[in-house]
Structure 1
Amino acid sequence: MKQRIMTAIIFGIVYLGCLFIHPVPFSILVTAFAVIAFYELLAMKGVKSTEFHSIVGFIFVASLVLKPLWDNYIVSVSALKMLVILLIFLFASIVFTKNRITFDDIAYLFLSAFYIGFSFSLLTTARFHELWLVLFIQIIMWVTDSGAYFVGRAIGKRKLASHISPNKTIEGSIGAVVVALIVAMILYMLVPSQTIHSFGGLLFITLIVSIFGQLGDLAESAIKRHYDIKDSGKILPGHGGIFDRFDSLLFVLPILYVFHFLG
């Protein structure tokens, strides 16, 4: 527990420090996270990170996450064109490796690269638009995790998804949403937002972050169970890997994008 707390403190200081300083250092930090998370996903399936198609995936992930930086300071790049280029290179790798790399391999890599790259790029984009929104989403995510843990330990009895994560309870999940709503209302009264213009909008975005954040956590747990691993990595002592720490956020950000809160 001591190691877990120390890791959380150090990680929090670095993450929040870059978040507050400026969008550029934050974008660089998030790009590093994205590359590590992509590496962890490759490792889950036993894909070598030194393979040609893996290297192409790394370049794509980093480029996509840094896209907001390019758009603001260098030149605007189409995310769709980047996606098409990735797909072409991956299909070409089947030919050049004489079928040593299969369609299943590139399908897994393509989905992983797109999911990691696109989701993290939304985080960097949001930082360029509004610091408070990124901080709000992150706080609600942290509050949801803590609320689920403490409420679940206190009154949790009914299992939420025992086949995936046996320690999570329905009571903990509901309690997490309630705690998230309370904290969101307090933040809304203290700090004005350029994106959230109404109380109804506040409730909507909070429910999305809290409910779908928990779903994202369960989805990542299901992936790890499929590949029979406990953690996605070991880079964060006591917490696992980067994918473990950002699983909920990666799931939520695309949904917020669909509802025009991000992008």
Structure 2
Amino acid sequence: MKDVLIRSVFGALFLMVVFTPFVYDVRNGGNIMNMVFYVFTMLGTHELFEMSKKSSFKNNLKAPALLLVTALFMPLLIQTASQFFPLLYNPVWDFILQTPLIFVLWGILILSILVMSYWIFKREKIDFVFKNTFLFNFFYPLLPMWILACAYTFSNGETKTLLLIVLLPIYLNDTLAYVCGRLFGKTPLIPSVSPKKTREGFIGGLIGAALVMLAILYFTDQFTKANALAIVGVSVLASILATLGDLFESKLKRSIAIKDSGNILPGHGGILDRIDAMLFVAPVLYVLLALIIS
């Protein structure tokens, strides 16, 4: 009971950290979420290099990796700060960050997610990624978080609300999959990767997330046939990608025989344990939806 309480409290605090800046940004046209994305990426990079110490490979490039994260996020952080300190604004950053290169990197990200998903099913162990942790860190977690931050920064207030549509199914799927798994779970999903995950939990999370999103659509007077089909499609895709993201991190930890990526969040583990699903879902779907409605 105590463990459930601790997990619930810190889970709620985590969601507050994510959604409070988001609400501010939507209401005031800001980009405070960039600070969240940056901090998550820095912590994720730190955890990844700490995890590499449990592997049979030596990696001594954590400081350069953290500097790379800061260098890539710096233009975005300057844009964020310019809302409060207009003298910091420089249109050069707009030009740099809105070039077609972003879409090329988005394509590379999708390809890397497909490769990592392939490893889940076809590789017994994936600790080989720690042969070059600096390079792996670029694809996981730096590239997903940076692309998401770039797309978010140059979205208007209405488009920014898409982040909520992308993130909600992740947390709904996680919660409902856990509940359905505990109540009805009998058949392991992929026992060699995550013994506690069940097919019943996966199906319950997927269907449950879609139903809750439909209910939200209905009670906010946005329910139309087109909107319903769109929200179900987004929810289902988000649930599938979220599950793959969770399984990938589980396999990564299992490959080096650790339980959590860190201990920053009591009851949850490390920051990578909390954003593993988000890394596979958020940048892919947010950019896709932003392109569709633009």
TM-score where L is the length of structure 2:
0.70
User: Could you tell me whether the CA contact under 8 Å between 1:143 and 1:180 is conserved in 2?
Assistant: yes
Match of 2:215 among 164, 168, 186: 186
Structure 2 vs 1, CA of residues 27 and 109 (structure 1 numbering), >3 Å: closer, same or farther? closer
Residues 103-182 of structure 1: pairs in structure 2 closer than 5 A: 104-112=132-140, 113-119=142-148, 121-122=150-151, 129-182=158-211
- Determine the structure 2 residue equivalent to 1:58: 69
> How far apart are residue 188 of structure 1 and its match?
1.6
> Matched residue of 2:31: which SS?
helix
Q: Structure 1 counterpart of 2:188, which letter? A: K
User: Could you tell me whether the CA contact under 8 Å between 2:206 and 2:239 is conserved in 1?
Assistant: yes
User: Could you tell me whether the CA contact under 8 Å between 1:19 and 1:127 is conserved in 2?
Assistant: no
Structure 1 residue runs without a partner (length 5+) = 85-101
Identity, in percent, stands at 27
User: Could you tell me whether the CA contact under 8 Å between 1:3 and 1:238 is conserved in 2?
Assistant: yes
Residues 17-36 of structure 1: CA distance to partner in whole angstroms, max 9, x if unpaired?
Answer: 21111233222122211211
Structure 2 vs 1, CA of residues 163 and 68 (structure 1 numbering), >3 Å: closer, same or farther? farther
Q: Distance in 2 between matches of 1:247 and 1:236?
A: 14
Residues 1-263 of structure 1: pairs in structure 2 closer than 5 A: 1=3, 2-22=5-25, 23-46=30-53, 47-48=59-60, 51=63, 53-63=64-74, 66=77, 69=80, 74-75=90-91, 76=94, 77-78=96-97, 80=101, 104-112=132-140, 113-119=142-148, 121-122=150-151, 129-191=158-220, 198-256=227-285, 260-262=288-290
Structure 2 vs 1, CA of residues 105 and 142 (structure 1 numbering), >3 Å: closer, same or farther? closer
> Matched residue of 1:24: which SS?
coil
User: Could you tell me whether the CA contact under 8 Å between 2:261 and 2:273 is conserved in 1?
Assistant: yes
Matched length: 241
> How far apart are residue 159 of structure 1 and its match?
0.4
> How far apart are residue 58 of structure 1 and its match?
2.5
Structure 2 vs 1, CA of residues 208 and 63 (structure 1 numbering), >3 Å: closer, same or farther? farther
Q: Distance in 1 between matches of 2:131 and 2:189?
A: 35
Q: Distance in 2 between matches of 1:7 and 1:135?
A: 20
> How far apart are residue 120 of structure 1 and its match?
5.0
User: Could you tell me whether the CA contact under 8 Å between 1:159 and 1:166 is conserved in 2?
Assistant: yes
Structure 2 residue runs without a partner (length 5+) = 54-58, 84-88, 106-129
Q: Structure 1 counterpart of 2:161, which letter? A: W
Q: Structure 1 counterpart of 2:22, which letter? A: L
- Determine the structure 1 residue equivalent to 2:115: none
RMSD: 3.3
